[in-house]
């Protein structure tokens, strides 16, 4: 049974209706994931993860947009988050796995310590405002909204200042060849 995009098929998360929802949208979610990650297995894993997230969030769907728009937004955000996470994770080459476990931990700890020293050295050159924002966000773990409320600025302003400060730290570390 084909579903109309605006058809309110999932007023409550019911197994039968979720199955219809999954069957209707699974291919488009998979294709979107595949376009973003360019790996069939990863795209398939992401698709399943996304539908698990969607199943948990169905009760909160407010019908302000179509299911497809809502699902597209979740899919896009999930893939972007996973790609960002993948860039942040330190990948170890197959050659490195031949080293002893203690050697890997020791070299990673030294590298991490060197990075931390470089960032701390560069942080001292930043304005007090930039230092404060970065430290509150990344050391104290404050959210954008909390920073916004604290400084009396719009969340978009906080995000932009954080981005500029991060970019400046990165540029200064690279210019000083501290890493």
Q: What is the CATH number of domain 101-175?
A: 1.10.10.10
Contact call for residues 26 and 62 (beta carbons, < 8 A): no
Summarised one tens digit per residue, pLDDT across range 91-118 is 444 444 455 555 656 777 777 778 778 8
Compute the distance between CA of residue 179 and CA of residue 173 in angstroms, rounded to an integer. 7
pLDDT digits (tens, 9 = 90+) for 19-33: 888 899 999 999 999
The model's pTM is 0.44
Confidence of residue 16 (pLDDT cuts 50, 70, 90): low
CATH 1.10.1740.10 domain residues, the chain = 15-88
**Residue ranges of the chain assigned to CATH 1.10.10.10:** 101-175
- How many C-beta neighbours within 10 Å does residue 13 have? 15
Q: Quickly count: other Cβ atoms within 10 Å of residue 67's Cβ.
A: 22
Question: Which CATH class name applies to 15-88?
Answer: mainly alpha
Tell me, what DSSP letter sits at residue 1? -
Look at residues 65, 52, 73 and name the one whose alpha carbon lies nearest to residue 8. 65
CA distance 66 to 32: 17
Phi and psi torsions of 11, nearest 5°:
-65, -40
Q: Which residue has the higher pLDDT, 2 or 43?
A: 43
Tokens of 106: 């020791």
């Amino acid at each position: 049974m084909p579903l109309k995009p605006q058809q309110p098929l999932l007023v409550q998360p019911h197994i039968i209706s979720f199955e219809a929802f999954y069957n209707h949208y699974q291919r488009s979610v998979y294709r979107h994931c595949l376009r973003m990650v360019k790996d069939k297995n990863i795209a398939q894993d992401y698709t399943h993860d996304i539908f698990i997230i969607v199943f948990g969030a169905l009760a909160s769907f407010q019908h302000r947009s179509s299911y497809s728009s809502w699902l597209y937004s979740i899919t896009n955000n999930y893939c972007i988050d996973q790609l960002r996470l993948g860039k942040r994770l330190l990948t170890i080459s197959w050659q490195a796995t031949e080293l002893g476990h203690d050697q890997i931990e020791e070299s990673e700890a030294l590298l991490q310590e060197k990075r931390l020293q470089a960032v701390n050295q560069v942080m001292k050159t930043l304005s007090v405002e930039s230092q404060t924002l970065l430290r509150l966000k990344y050391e104290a773990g404050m959210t954008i909204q909390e920073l916004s409320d604290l400084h009396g600025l719009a969340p978009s302003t906080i995000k932009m200042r954080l981005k500029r400060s991060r970019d400046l730290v990165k540029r200064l570390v690279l210019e000083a060849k501290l890493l």
